Chain A
Amino acid sequence: MHLGFLTIYWRDMIRFYRFKTLLISSLVQPALWMAFFGIAMSANFNRLTSDIPPLPGVPSVDYLTFMAAGVIAMTTLFTSLFGGMSLLFDKNWGLMREIFASPLPRNHIIFGIALSGMTKSFIQSIIIMVFGIIIGAQFFFGYSAIKTLLAVLGILLFVAVFSLGFLFLSAAISISLESPEGMQGIMTLLTMPIFFASNALYPINAFPPALQAISMVNPLTYLVTGIRYFAIGDNFQAIGIHYSYTPLQIGLAFLFLIGFATVMFTLAWWRFRKAVVT
């Protein structure tokens, strides 16, 4: 088996580690989201929903626990969408020529970059889980050690497939563009609807039908669903809404993410075969 993608992976991880500002900001930023947005919003939501009578017999979780899953998903989205950006810099600084003129198959560039983006998302997800639990998110509540471990693996599996999808997309965009500014613009344009037309921070039940339809084809919704299933459980209520998942639903959500990643890889592969770097 050709392990060329590990070379690309290794180089990208060196850079991640050496750019101290990038390293530190990417580790601190998700924690800050939890600390500020999480605590502030959770105080509000808990007050607003305090007079809604809880459903009897259904375990209830507070808003912080509810949104912590969303923060993991959001961080993975951002990190993955920007993960391909280093390809654009490599291209603009001429570094891509060395790689394109070498015998390394081009799909290994995509795999290498995707793998390093995935690693970063893993690190961030774990930080958010740990930090979230510290400030009071009730993740893995009442789980045994084995069950907690399996739940964490389940979350990482969802994060992995989701991040691959968006990393492939990001790689496809970067190899097709000339300017980092253009990339920045496209990313901002993409993150807005993906993030807000999802169940990351609030339930989608009250959305108008059009927005609800968008959220149903939004990969972020499926990632958040997967994370909540593993971190909170298959039957709980939050902000007055009852959530229950069957294993089939979770399996379909996972399949949806795999489908999304496959389509995005095809797109990236096509862009890479077309790409001319001189």
Chain B
Amino acid sequence: MSENIISVKDLYHRYGDFTAVDGISFDVKEGEIFSFLGPNGAGKSTAINVLTTLLPLQEGSATVAGHNVAEDPQKVRESIGIVFQDVTLDRDMTCREILDFHGNLYRMPSTERRKRIDELLALVQLENKQDTRTKQLSGGMKRRLEIARGLMTRPRVLFLDEPTIGLDPQTRMRMWDYIKAVNEEGTTIFLTTHYMDEADHLSDRISIIDKGQIIITGSSYELKNTLGEDLIYLETSDMSGTIPILSGMELVKEVRKKSKGLTAMLDGDGTKILPRIIETLSAEGIKVSVVNLKKPSMDDVFVHYTGRELRDEGAEKSSSAITRAGRR
């Protein structure tokens, strides 16, 4: 058995004329947390649905836990756990019944089932809710119950499709802790998200996916490092004059024009380079009006590689902005 627990080659998936997944290849190593980061509609869910055998494989190849998705879907199903994007709990069943039902679907023997349910209810701290119907649970509790359900059969890979969508900041961070704890017990995690901070915080490796294609794959550190060590944002009195001057400077890796100002990617310590930039510019008679120095974030990585902001929608944006601010 290879150390790659998921291996995907040239995967395509089309809905009529629309190509949702446009030739992706990637590997997930056993034991890691791997993320698909991309906007809504990037093809993340379609890819996950193919890997979890809910959608038929159209073109390319994919193996999960050593089993071919197209040839042996039954074996794949036995090896994986899934937490779906939206809540999929029967409102009128209790937490314990939800887990019991799931264990039964996978033909777990009853003593093992009971033991596992107790363990998992403890893990996600729902012991005192075990006889409560799921309609009475809060959003965070429902998500926790779903994660417990995904783990019920001790899967080798747990698929999490947007696990913290619609949760408040504190609950999201608690979810991250649960996900990490589960991973530390040895379960490989495959996660899709459109939250930069989530991918950044949780994953060992991230694939940025957009318009059905993988743009780049690497660890959070590697991805950010491709943008250099520091980023400087400038607005000056003469924008067109500034660009050639900056581009010619030592340790400046790349300069990009933005709507109002420009960003310079640096191959050195920005705190030392920035004063030199301002001096050089004022020597040329260009006045700097706005300046900002920062470390590259996942947002910057995303914008850099896709050429646009992540299409983050309304309420979700504000909540992710708050957590981001809270963590920095």
The stretch that binds B, out of A7-15, A38-46, A169-177, A221-229, is A7-15
The DSSP consensus for interface residues of chain A is helix
Query: Taking the nearest CB of chain B, how far is it from the CB of A277, in angstroms?
Result: 7
Task: Indicate if the CB atoms of B97 and A14 lie closer than 8 Å.
Answer: yes
Q: Which residue of B lies closest to A276 (CB)?
A: B55
Residues of B within 8 Å of A6, CB to CB, are 104
Contact with B along A200-216 (1 / 0, CB 8 A): 00000000000000000
Give B81's nearest chain A residue, CB to CB: A101
Contacts A103-B77, A103-B78, A278-B55; A14 near B107 (Cβ below 8 A): no
Tell me the bound Cα distance from A2 to B84 in angstroms.
27
Is A104 interfacial (CB 8 A cutoff)?
Answer: yes
Asked if B88 and A98 sit within 8 Å, CB to CB, the answer is yes
Q: A4-B107, A11-B101, A94-B84 are in contact. Are A101 and B90 (CB under 8 A)?
A: no
Tally B residues with Cβ within 8 Å of A.
28
B65 to chain A minimum Cβ distance, whole angstroms, is 13
Query: A104 vs B101: C-alpha distance in the bound complex, in angstroms?
Result: 12
B112 to chain A, nearest CB (A): 15
A residues less than 8 Å from B49 (CB atoms)? 278
A53 → chain B closest CB, angstroms:
58
Interface 1/0s, chain B 138-166, versus A by CB < 8 A?
00000000000100000000000000000
Among B45, B56, B92, B102, contact of A98 (Cβ-Cβ < 8 Å): B102
User: 4 extra interchain contacts, Cβ-Cβ under 8 A, other than A2-B107, A98-B88, A102-B106?
Assistant: A14-B92, A95-B88, A101-B82, A103-B74
A residues contacting B by CB (< 8 A) are 2, 4, 6-7, 10-11, 14-15, 18-19, 93-95, 97-104, 276-278
* 25 A-B pairs whose Cβ atoms sit less than 8 Å apart in the complex: A4-B107, A10-B104, A11-B101, A14-B93, A15-B90, A15-B92, A19-B92, A94-B87, A95-B89, A95-B90, A98-B82, A98-B88, A98-B105, A99-B105, A101-B52, A101-B53, A101-B77, A101-B82, A102-B105, A103-B77, A103-B78, A103-B105, A276-B55, A276-B56, A277-B54
| Residues of chain B whose beta carbon lies under 8 Å from any beta carbon of chain A | 45, 49, 52-56, 74, 77-78, 80, 82, 84, 86-90, 92-93, 97, 101-102, 104-107, 149
